[in-house]
Chain A
Amino acid sequence: MPDIERVVHAAAARYEHDATQLLQILIAVQDELGYLSPPALTAIATTLNIPRSRVQGVAGFYSFLYTEPVGRYRILFADNITDRMLGAPLLLDELCRKLWLERGKLSEDGLVSIDTTSCTGLCDQGPALLVNGRVVTRVDHRRINRIAELVRRQVPVEDWPAEFFHIDDNICRRDALLGTPFKPGSALIAAMRLGRNDWLQEMHKSKLRGRGGAGFTTAVKWTGCRDAPGQQKVIVCNAYEGEPGTFKDRVLLNSFADHVFEGMTLASWATGAQLGLVYLRGEYRYLWPALHEVLERRRAAGLLGKAILGTPGFDFDIQFHLGAGSYVCGEETALLESLEGKRGTPRIRPPFPVVRGYLGRPTVVNNVETLAKTCLIALQGGSAFAATGTRQSTGTKLLSVSGDCAAPGIYEYPFGVSIAKVLDDCGASDTQAVQVGGASGMMMATYEFHRSIACEDVPSAGAFMVFDSSRDPFEIAHNFVDFFVHESCGFCTPCRLGTTLLKGYMDKIARGYGAKVDLADIDWVNRLLKNASHCGLGTTAPNPVVDTLVKFRPAYERRMQSLDFEPAFDLDAELETARRLTGRADPAAYLNGNNEARP
């Protein structure tokens, strides 16, 4: 059998020829073949007995799936603003130079390609890069030299120095979750002692709200799922931590996985769900083996599987799904589509996932941190949990602190902590702005540092990026706009075009062609994004620009070339081809911007 056929059959067999596992099968096939060639896509369609158009549609959606040949070494530099601040663009150029390569192009020998990728969740130990999907942290000139050497000598990535791949937790402040010893199974035993209903009552009392950013009350979700018609309910752990500047879920999955899985089991106890799914972002794939060990250990201890802790009828187990580079899949309905092996396009709501979720079943989608927190509620009781934090935002919050500060890392605080306090604790000085909640969050200026992190004041999925006075707010916003263009799924008109047009204006201003009228156009595009977009990605995409235009307007104004109108491109440069082909150098062959009339 030809190689492609063999690989595709093996991958399909591993997933029982289940078309809902298409994304996992595509990943598995690419792992073997390097990229998904047209014949490979055809073979997958044939083997799974699904239309080829669907396979091509899905393969093209995810940025870590390649339908064109790629290098044997695929190097992707993380392109979050924090990586840029740590010098990533220079390091990228340096590596390109050392390997005689143009960014974004495959080397002629097919050996290596170098490009950028969205935030990899390693902002506290950046700049980071991915090599064939594996994370390299703390990239510096020395590491670039060594990477160039390793690639030139064609050393397999598995044999690269282990310290390249070393990732620290960097926990800088512990509170209720990170600071309390936890015995796996203890929370479950406590909740089971209460019984399913009383356990859900404790959840209500706790007033726990989702930690993924939206802040929806968790117990309401669980109750909705429990009460929804349908037997096969599902608990999904959203481990797609794609929000730029956020990395707390990585640390939880690395060192507190028992909390997370136990939280899923607690959700199952409350709702009656028997299936648990963890959707892990591709960048965190390296965590997979350790997470599997935890699952195995829990199964062996009777904490997962049939008749959990000897209770007949309490059956629950957890499966893993891997993402492949798509931020929008952190949106819960896009995540469900992706779990079903489709393009990650957000669904129309209603119906909500608790009624019709994964494969149409009632589904709870909870963030990693939310699930981990439920263990505390089971152990302390809902009222004790609700006594911490603020009235509207109970409990603690993990903040992912990065940027211009002495001690980047994870900080756990009770909700209500002020921005100033966090800045003080992390050793930030001369701070000009803080981006709270990531690219889709809020940019806070100095006069707002008294405000507090809480759903009712400054909500946050956990990102806390610090910028000192040497940073340019325009460049920060520009970086986030680039991010949203890259990550828009393109489903709806306002987001697909709005992000693209917004990038056009930001690029124009950055190139020095900005004009005052552009600011009015930007406002207009922002309004369309905010009002008309299909999902939260589009509605929040303009936030960085809106905030910087309000709070750091001179950063835009001082870049203006004209107070009226200016074309978006260099008109004279557009004559270059014609000049070259005609060999002309007479005065009329040039457009002098100042000399309007023709001589």
Chain B
Amino acid sequence: MSAPEKTRVATASLAGCFGCHMSLLDIDEHLFELVEKVEFDRSPLTDIKHCGACEIGLIEGGVCNAENIHVLREFRQHCKILVAVGACAINGGLPAQRNYFKLDDCLRQVYQYRIGMTDAGIPDDPELPLLLERVHPIHEIVRVDYFLPGCPPSGEAIWSFLSDLLAGRTPRLPYSLMHFD
């Protein structure tokens, strides 16, 4: 008898700190259970560069630049279930704190007017993705199916959430795992 087919999961960190990915690794011994059930597609854990057809896509981080949009669209296109993981994906989080300033002012302040700045100039290398005027939560850019809050969500919350999803249950966090901070 062949082994049951594994669920393909892709993950990405957009404008985030990788804290949510670290939290995913924090599920400790459940990692063994997880790899029994899932196979990772595009993810910082696999170094696969582009997303193939997946059941589940986990997105950490908000959308702050052009590359984030490409990645997010790719995920939406290839993942049947797209999940916003953590504060930044859900509400923009820390990167979105720049939304109260004009992008023009932000860039000039950092690259031109900062005290001690020599050789001032806003970087124009085509390798660098251009910044958006505002940082957006991912649900403002694509349709999102589930939201897993927390900054980051605890390993326990991530495991609870994924267990539900993999078992075909609508994910529902118990009160003790529901946190925005």
**B residues less than 8 Å from A578 (CB atoms):** 103, 107, 130-132
Given contacts A517-B143, A567-B140, A588-B66, A581 and B126 within 8 Å (CB-CB): no
Could you tell me the distance between the alpha carbons of A589 and B142 in the complex, rounded to whole angstroms? 20
A565 contacts across to B, CB distance below 8 A: 142-143
Question: Which of A517, A564, A568 contacts B140, CB < 8 Å?
Answer: A568
Known: A588-B126, A596-B73. A581 touches B140 (CB 8 A): no
Report chain A residues within 8 Å CB of B70: 596-598
A20 CB, min distance to chain B CBs, angstroms: 40
Instruction: Mark each residue of chain A from 564 to 598: 1 if its CB lies under 8 Å from any CB of chain B, else 0.
Output: 11011001001111110111101011010000111
Interface check B129, CB cutoff 8 A:
yes
> Which residues in B have their C-beta under 8 angstroms from that of A575?
66, 130-133
Docked CA distance A578–B105 (Å) = 11
B77 within 8 A of A: yes
CB within 8 Å of A: which B133-153 residues: 133-134, 140-143
B35 interface contact, C-beta 8 A: no
Give A487 Cβ to nearest chain B Cβ, in Å.
28
Residues of A within 8 A of B102 (CB): 577
- In angstroms, how far is the closest chain B Cβ from the Cβ of A464? 41
A530→B136 CA distance, assembly (Å): 30
Whether B69 contacts A581 by the Cβ 8 Å rule is: no
Contact with B along A452-489 (1 / 0, CB 8 A): 00000000000000000000000000000000000000
Known interface pairs A596-B73, A598-B67. Does A589 touch B130 (Cβ–Cβ under 8 Å)?
yes
Complex: A581 Cα to B69 Cα, angstroms: 20
A588 proximity list for chain B (CB < 8 A): 66, 126, 129-130
Q: A578-B130, A583-B124, A596-B77 are contacts. A571–B141 as well, Cβ < 8 Å? A: yes
A565 to chain B minimum Cβ distance, whole angstroms, is: 4
Partner of A577, one of B66, B69, B133: B133
Q: Which listed residue, A582, A586, A589, A598, touches B123 by the CB 8 Å rule?
A: A582
B contact set with A: CB distance below 8 Å: 50, 66-67, 69-70, 73-74, 77, 102-104, 107-108, 122-124, 126, 129-134, 140-143
A582 B77 Cβ-Cβ under 8 A: no
How distant is A302 from chain B, measured CB to nearest CB, in Å? Answer: 65
B107 touches A581 (CB 8 A): yes
Q: Are A596 and B143 in contact (CB under 8 A)?
A: no
Q: Is the CB of B74 within 8 A of A581?
A: no
0 or 1 for each of A547-572: is its CB under 8 Å from B? (1 = yes): 00000000000000000110110010
Q: How far is the CA of A565 from the CA of B77 in the complex (A)?
A: 12
Can you name the residue of chain A whose Cβ is closest to the Cβ of B144? A565
The reply to whether A577 and B143 form a contact with Cβ atoms under 8 Å apart is no
Interface size in chain A (residues, C-beta < 8 A) = 23
A574 touches B133 (CB 8 A): yes
Decide: B103 and A564 in contact? CB cutoff 8 A.
Answer: no
Instruction: Report B-chain residues with C-beta under 8 Å of the C-beta of A568.
Output: 140
Which residues of chain A come closer than 8 Å to B140, judged between CB atoms? Answer: 567-568
**What separation, in Å, do the CA atoms of A564 and B77 have in the docked complex?**
12
A-side contacts of B73, CB under 8 Å: 596
B75 CB → nearest A CB, Å: 11
A-B contact pairs, 20 of them (CB 8 A): A564-B143, A565-B143, A568-B140, A571-B132, A571-B141, A574-B132, A575-B130, A575-B133, A577-B103, A577-B104, A577-B107, A578-B107, A579-B130, A581-B108, A581-B122, A584-B124, A584-B130, A586-B126, A597-B70, A597-B74
* Interface of B: prevailing SS: mixed
CB distance from B154 to the nearest CB of A (A): 30
State how many angstroms separate the Cβ of B132 from the closest Cβ of chain A. Answer: 4
Q: Which of B50, B104, B132 contacts A581 (CB 8 A)?
A: B104
Interface centre among B74, B134, B143 (most CB of A within 10 A): B143
What residues of chain A have their CB less than 8 Å away from a CB belonging to chain B? Answer: 517, 564-565, 567-568, 571, 574-579, 581-584, 586, 588-589, 591, 596-598
Inside 8 A of A596's CB, which chain B residues have their CB?
A: 70, 73-74, 77
Rounded to whole Å, the gap between the CB of B99 and the closest CB of chain A is 12
Taken together as a complex, chains A and B put the C-alpha atoms of A576 and B142 apart, in Å, by 21
A-chain residues with CB within 8 Å of residue B67 when the two chains form the complex: 598
Residues of B within 8 A of A581 (CB): 104, 107-108, 122
Shortest CB-to-CB span from B72 to chain A, Å, is 10
A578 to B50, CA, bound (A): 26
Tell which of B66, B69, B124 has the most Cβ of chain A within 10 Å.
B66
Chain A residues, CB < 8 A from B141: 567, 571
Measured in the bound complex, the distance between the Cα atoms of B143 and A568 in whole Å is 12
Q: Considering the chains assembled together, what is the distance between the CA atoms of A582 and B123 in angstroms? A: 7
Asked whether A582 lies within 8 Å of B122 as measured between CB atoms, the reply is yes
CA distance A353 to B126 in the complex (A): 68
Q: How far is the CA of A565 from the CA of B67 in the complex (A)?
A: 20
| Closest residue of A by beta carbon distance from B127 | A588
List of A residues within 8 angstroms of B132 by Cβ: 571, 574-575, 578
> Which residues does chain B contribute within 8 Å of A571, judged by CB atoms?
69, 132, 141
Determine if A582 and B124 form an interchain contact, defined as CB atoms under 8 angstroms apart.
yes
Distance to closest chain A CB from B89 (angstroms)? 15
Q: Could you tell me the distance between the alpha carbons of A341 and B117 in the complex, rounded to whole angstroms?
A: 56
Give the distance to chain B from A270, nearest Cβ to Cβ, in Å. 58
Q: How far is the CB of A180 from chain B (nearest CB, A)?
A: 61
| In the bound complex, CA of A39 to CA of B67 (Å) | 51
Bound Cα distance A564, B132 (Å): 24
Complex Cα spacing A574 to B70, Å: 14
Closest to B136 in A: A567
Residues from chain A with a CB closer than 8 A to the CB of B134 are: 574
Specify the chain B residue showing the minimal Cβ separation from A517.
B143
Nearest residue, chain B, Cβ from A515: B143
Inside 8 A of B74's CB, which chain A residues have their CB?
596-597
Q: Smallest CB–CB gap between B12 and chain A, Å? A: 14
- Please name all residues of chain B whose beta carbon is closer than 8 Å to the beta carbon of A584 when the two chains form the complex: 124, 126, 130
In the bound complex, how far is the Cα of B69 from the Cα of A574, in angstroms? 12
**CB closest residue in chain A, given B71:** A598
Query: Closest chain B residue to A585 by CB distance?
Result: B126
Residue of A nearest to B122 (CB): A581
Which residues from A are CB-within-8-Å of B108?
Answer: 581
* Chain A residue at minimal CB-CB distance from B111: A581
Q: How far is the CB of B74 from chain A (nearest CB, A)?
A: 6
Cα of A583 to Cα of B123 in the assembled complex, Å: 10
Are A589 and B126 in contact (CB-based, < 8 A)? yes
* A589 to B66 Cα, complex, angstroms: 8
Kindly state the separation between the CA atoms of A564 and B123 in the bound complex, as whole angstroms: 37
Distance of A32 Cα from B140 Cα, bound (Å) = 48
Min CB–CB distance B4 → chain A (angstroms): 31
Q: Verify B130–A582 contact, CB threshold 8 A.
A: yes
**Extra pairs beyond A581-B122, A588-B130, A597-B70 (10, CB < 8 Å):** A564-B143, A575-B132, A577-B102, A578-B103, A578-B107, A582-B122, A583-B124, A588-B66, A597-B74, A598-B70
